[in-house]
Every structure is written in C-alpha cells, then in structure tokens.
Structure 1
Amino acid sequence: MPQSPATPLPSPKERRRLREAKSLSQADIAAKIGVTRETVRSWETGRTAPRGRKREAYVKLLNAGATPSAAKRGPKSRTPARTPARTPAPVAATAPTTGTAPPTQPQPQPLRVTTTAAPPFPGPRDHSPAQAFDALCAYCAPGLVRQTYLLTGRRGLAQESVERAFQLAWQRWPEVAVDRDPAGWVRAAAYEYAMSPWHRFRPGQRHPDALPASAADRAFLDVLLSLPPAQRRTLMLYDGLGLDLPETAAETEASTPATAKRLLHARETVAEQMPELADPEVLHRRLMEVAGAEALRLPKAERVRTGSEYRARFWTRAAIAFTALIVGATALTLRNAPTQYEPPQAPGTAINGVPPRMGPGPLSYEDTTLREKLRAELTTGNPRLTPQLP
C-alpha cells in the first residue's frame, strides 16, 4: 500500500499515540475526516493507510493541537459512534427487477454475518512466531486463494497474491501478531496485490486463463468479472464472506454510504444478467460453490517464510550495493574534480591591418590580350614542339 511521499504519515503506533495525546477517540477522528470508526481503527493497526485528501486531513489532524472540547471530554468520549450500517435503504432493495413498481417503503433486510464465514482467527498465544504464522497460514490460505480467484479470474495470480500477502505478513509479523484481526490484515494485502492495475502489463497476464469446466460457472464468472473492481471487492466481502457493512467500508477504505451504493449496484448488475441470483443468500451460496469448484495450489507456510526472508535479504543487499555505488561515484567525482578555479578562455579578437580575403577580380587589358593570343595559337602538333630561333 504505497504512501504519498508529499505527506509523511506516522507509523501505526505513532498515529494511535498522537490521537490519545490529544484526548481524541477514534469516533472523533472519523467524524472530523468523514469516514467510519472502523476505517480509523484500520489506519491505526496498519492494515490500510489513508490516501488523497483523507490522508492530508488525517496527518493535519494528528499534528494539530487538541481542541478544547476534545480535551474536556477525555476518556469518556471513547464510546463507539452509531453507524448507519443497520439501516441503509439501498442495501435492502435486493429484490429482482420486475414489471411491477417497488413498494414505497421497502422493509430493510437486516445486515447479517453468515454462519459460513470463518470466525476471527484465535491466534495461539503460547506458540513461537513461526508456529503462530504457520497456524494463520493453514487457517486462512484455503479460503483466501478461492476468494482471490473470484476477484481476478486467474488461478496463477490468485496463488501469487496470497503467497505475497503472507510473505508481507511474515516480514511485519510483530505488527500482524498483535492486530485485532490478523486474517483480515492478510486478506486486505492479498486483495490489494491481486487487484493492482499494473498486472495487465505483465507478459504472463496478456493471455486469458483457462475457463471453468462448467458452463454455468463460466457464465457466473464472466458476470462477476464484468463488475468494476471496487464493486467486485465489496460484493465479495459482504455477500461472500459475510462481513458487516462498517467492516466492509473499513477494508475498502470507503465511507459506509459509498459502500452501500457499490453493493447495491453490484447486486443489480448480477440480478439483471442472472435473475436467479437476486436473493443475497442464493448469491452467497453461488459464490462459495464457484470458488470451491476450482483446484488451486495452497501456499506452504515454510516456503512462504523462506521466500519472505530471501526477498528481505535480497532487497537489503541490493540497497547496500546501490548505496555503495552512489558513494563510489561521489568519491570518484570528488577525486577528479578540479581543485581550483580555471577561468574560461576569452573569445578571439579581430586583427586590424590585414586585408580581407577576396576572390579573383576582373582581368586587365594586358591580361585579356595575352589570353586571346594564347587561344589563337596551336595547342597540338609538331610546330608547337619545334623550337624556333629568334
């Protein structure tokens, strides 16, 4: 998750420390910036980072002094803010489009966390870091590879994305181990890598991947991949995994109303092309069926740790070599550079008294007479070669 070099962002722990030093709660920060409390929590855990104007506002708010009202509230203002996640009307309107007009007051469908979604990762507390990481990999990798395949439609890219996400998690394991949701941290990293627009320029991604064996699965995958990336990810998190709307908004770095609109448009597009999937429960089961029908290679925890350590060593050595190259080039430049000022050569000056260089002029009368005489005489034959007495 790249960060803009124009606006330096403190580390996740420093963000939380600055917020607490100003006696502000996560709800206060969210209200001032215009995001949800879950988004602020995601920023402070390092799972995601703000971007654009929200990043600038967040940094400015952290660096600014505490407001008097916030200082008076103190710890009592840390009550979680009410989120409108339970009552967005667009999310409830999931009925298929028919010829009859919809009711004026549709009953909102309660947002639910499906029972098929995996519970939060328990995280063994008494194990070594390697054992805890292996447990996290074995717990999350099977479902995460299938979810990434539905987002990209490419088996190789899905496997590579999950492996790179776990490598990044192992590099930042002290941060991931204390996160409230390590599985969500890895999931967000895998989704970000899988849906990066730069993959389209890779030579291996120019050719289409093998289609599913079932015609129904192919049709459903085509409809799913026709959605914009933001809607596709929102649909996967909410209807596929069963996350709540605030959690989906926090993971996609969007506000709750924007996430609800994305979900509504995604459902409408799917229901328009496949009316039998208008019911969210049917859509959820269909997502799980298509994801489970593919045989995908799972990353091995030991291989992921070895690959992560190898990549860290490689880039560290590359950085050291590049730094040494810069130092050597600088030293060579200083060694060969002149040690004193050498004034430039003065431009040439004109010399007086020398006539300008000219071409041949007109012939005089004597020259003309001589030329005519030479032309009148013979130029060949014996008379020209025989000497004559004067």
Structure 2
Amino acid sequence: MVTTQKSAGPLPPPKERRRLRQARSLTQAQLAARLGVGRATVRAWESGRREPDGPEGAAYAELLASSAEPTARQEAPEQVSPHGAAATPAPTAVALPEPLTPAQAFDALYAFCAPALVRQAYLLSGRRELARESVERAFQLAWQRWPEVARDRDPAGWVRAAAYDWALSPWHRFRPRYRNPEQPPADPADRELLDTLLGLPPSYRRTLVLYDGVGLDLPEAAAETEASTPAAASRLLHAREAVAARVPALADPALLHRRLTELASREQMRAARPTVVRTGCERRTVFWTRAAIAFTVTIVGATTLTLRTAPTRYEAPIAPAQAVHGVPRPVPLGPLSEEEQELRAKLRRKGTHGPNRLAPQPR
C-alpha cells in the first residue's frame, strides 16, 4: 500500500513567517512544542536556513496559512457594485482576537514558564524554597520592566536568565534561612545525581541544565550564560565528564536528559499564582518608593537644620588652663620693720609730682 505525504505547499518569505507567528501571539518555543520540533528548527525556518518538510512542515504551512487568512480579509479591497457604489463586504465567521492587556500577557507568560522554571531552579540550587523564590523574583523583575520584556524577542529566555541568576547567587549562603542544608530527595539515585550537580561549578551546572535539561542548542546556551560558544562547549564537556565519573550510567546524554527531568518532576513543586506575584511586586515597588521618599525627606530636613544652626563666623577656641609654677606664696600683712618704716617716711617727704614735662622750644 502506497501512502502519500501531504506537501508543505508554498510558504511565505522567512520574515513573513516570523510576523505571522507573532500575529498569533506565539513564541518560538510555543510553536515548536505545538509542531513537535525543536526550537532551533523553528528558528532555522524563520531565518531561511532550512525549508520546512515532512508532516511538521505541512502543519507549519497550514498554521501560517490560517494566520494569513484574517490579514488577507482585513486588507482586501472593497467590492464595487455595477452601479458604482461600494458593495458591503461579506460577513466573515472568523473574529480577530482582541489584543491582550499587560496583565493578561504577563499571566500567560507566567502560566507557560513558571512550572518548568521552578524545577530547573531546583536543579541549580538544590533547595525547594529557593527555587520558588527565584522564579517569583524573576517574574517580579519582569513585571517591573514589562515594556522591555514584552518587546524582547524571547521573553521566556529573559525570565529564565533572571531566575537562574537569583538561584545561583552566592549570597544566599549568608541568609539565616538557607544556612542549614535542606532535606535531600528520598530516592538514593536522585540524591546522588543532585549531589553531583551541586558539586559542579555554577557555570558548568548552568550550561548542563540549559543544554541537557532545557534542550537549548549550544549557541543559545552560550548566549544565555554570556560566554562564547567554544567556552560553553568546554563547560558542557567537563560537566558531562564529571557526572559520568560519579554516575557512569549517565554517560548517555539522552539518559541524562531523562534523569534530570525525572529528578525535577518528582519534587512536585508549585509556583505561586500570577496574581500573587504581580501584587507582591507592586507592593514591593510601593514600599521602596515610600522608603526612598522618606530617606530623601530625612536628608533634606537634616541639611536644613544644619544650615540653620551652624555658626556663620569663625570663633577661636578657648585655650585650656595651664598651671603656673615658681610664683611665691602670698605673705599675710603684719607690722613693718624699721627699714620699711624709714622707706615709707622717705617716700612721703618727697614731692608727689613727677618730673617736669618736656616741651619743645621754638628756635
């Protein structure tokens, strides 16, 4: 029996393919998951490096055609009746989707990314509470910078990078809540794999999770870790060698990917609701705004008080008192001796007036 394969049919140019995907509010990762292909394949289709083929290419062409139909209807010229008047366009059964509000778009991104990000952050940190906190902080930062995140070509990657940075921050070791070790997984094999991951350097661990856990290709993993492609390849190679040396059964990358997925999924960690994250972000923003205002008012008040009370001229400081030595002690008064009496009489006999004043004489 001969089966025929449905061809992909004519496709729009690569730039138009990307525009049609964005018109359906789909990211490359979402489209790849819907078609059952890798994200790198979708990127190659939209860049023109590869042409879609096979069942996936046919499904891709059908999706693009359905995305282009509303646009074609919207841009179709008006029909002119034989009498010269513009004919009323025929009603269509397809209704164009209304644009999402920022809150709705944020909630959709959170629902799509948060569950997987919590599991990935657990592989990086080995702590359940820190994993949930990392995802919430990353999405709070995304909500604060939502105009920037909404225009980013990969919002999910933006949030993932922020969550990974928070989970791998070395400052958590100084926090009281994270000083003590957390209860390890119950399964000995999971515990051994998690200990192996936590024994890797943070950059190696991050590259391994991105490549073998998330499924990014090497250039994407290098870009997200802010490294060159050769450096990312070296980190991945050394990380795989370390894992294989500790657990020889995980030398196969496919098996390593499956074990990482199982390890993260067994914990059954759940992220908070998107509304809780958004309201928490808004409360945090209000708190820090008020704190900044109060600090500024305090500084202004202290400066004003200093200017009002500070002296306007220089006053020399008073020298400290010093003891004077060698002064004779005062002698109490008593009767005069004969010599003193003669001196007093002699002084009294003399004239009380002083010498004559010297006056200039004219020549």
Q: TM-score range by the shorter chain?
A: 0.5 to 0.7
Which residue matches 1:210? Answer: 183
Count of aligned positions: 241
Deviation string, structure 1 residues 109-142 (Cα, Å, up to 9, x no partner)? xxxxx9577989xxx9820000000000000001
Which residue matches 2:304? Answer: 331
TM-fit CA distance, 1:212: 1.4
Q: Quick one: which amino acid aligns to residue 191 of structure 2?
A: R
Task: Indicate conservation of the 8 Å contact 1:117/1:241, yes or no.
Answer: no
Which residue matches 1:280? Answer: 253
Which residue matches 2:203? Answer: 230
Which residue matches 1:299? Answer: 272
Which residue matches 2:241? Answer: 268
How far, CA to CA, are the matches of 2:116 and 2:289 in structure 1?
Answer: 32
Give RMSD over aligned pairs: 2.4
TM-fit CA distance, 1:350: 8.3
- Relative distance call for 1:344 and 1:125 in structure 2 (3 A) is farther
1:74-223 equivalence runs, <5 A: 115=37, 126-223=99-196
Deviation string, structure 1 residues 56-76 (Cα, Å, up to 9, x no partner)? xxxxxxxxxxxxxxxxxxxxx
Deviation string, structure 1 residues 239-289 (Cα, Å, up to 9, x no partner)? 111112121111111222221111111000001111111111111111111
> Relative contact order: is structure 1 or structure 2 higher (C-alpha 8 Å, sep ≥ 6)?
1
Which residue matches 1:26? Answer: none
Q: % of aligned pairs identical?
A: 68
Q: Quick one: which amino acid aligns to residue 216 of structure 2?
A: L
Which residue matches 1:254? Answer: 227
TM-fit CA distance, 1:169: 0.4
TM-fit CA distance, 1:355: 4.1
- Relative distance call for 1:240 and 1:352 in structure 2 (3 A) is closer
Which residue matches 1:308? Answer: 281
- Relative distance call for 1:305 and 1:157 in structure 2 (3 A) is same
Task: Indicate conservation of the 8 Å contact 1:146/1:292, yes or no.
Answer: yes
How far, CA to CA, are the matches of 1:181 and 1:344 in structure 2?
Answer: 68
Using the size of structure 2 for normalisation, the TM-score is 0.62
Using the size of structure 1 for normalisation, the TM-score is 0.58
Unaligned stretches of 5+ in structure 1?
Answer: 1-113, 358-390
TM-fit CA distance, 1:209: 1.4
How far, CA to CA, are the matches of 2:132 and 2:329 in structure 1?
Answer: 83
Match of 1:344, SS?
coil
Task: Indicate conservation of the 8 Å contact 1:162/1:299, yes or no.
Answer: no
Moved more, 290-299 or 310-319: 290-299
Unaligned stretches of 5+ in structure 2?
Answer: 1-35, 44-96, 331-363
How far, CA to CA, are the matches of 1:231 and 1:178 in structure 2?
Answer: 30
How far, CA to CA, are the matches of 2:192 and 2:256 in structure 1?
Answer: 14
Match of 1:277, SS?
helix
- Relative distance call for 1:276 and 1:116 in structure 2 (3 A) is farther
Q: Quick one: which amino acid aligns to residue 188 of structure 2?
A: A
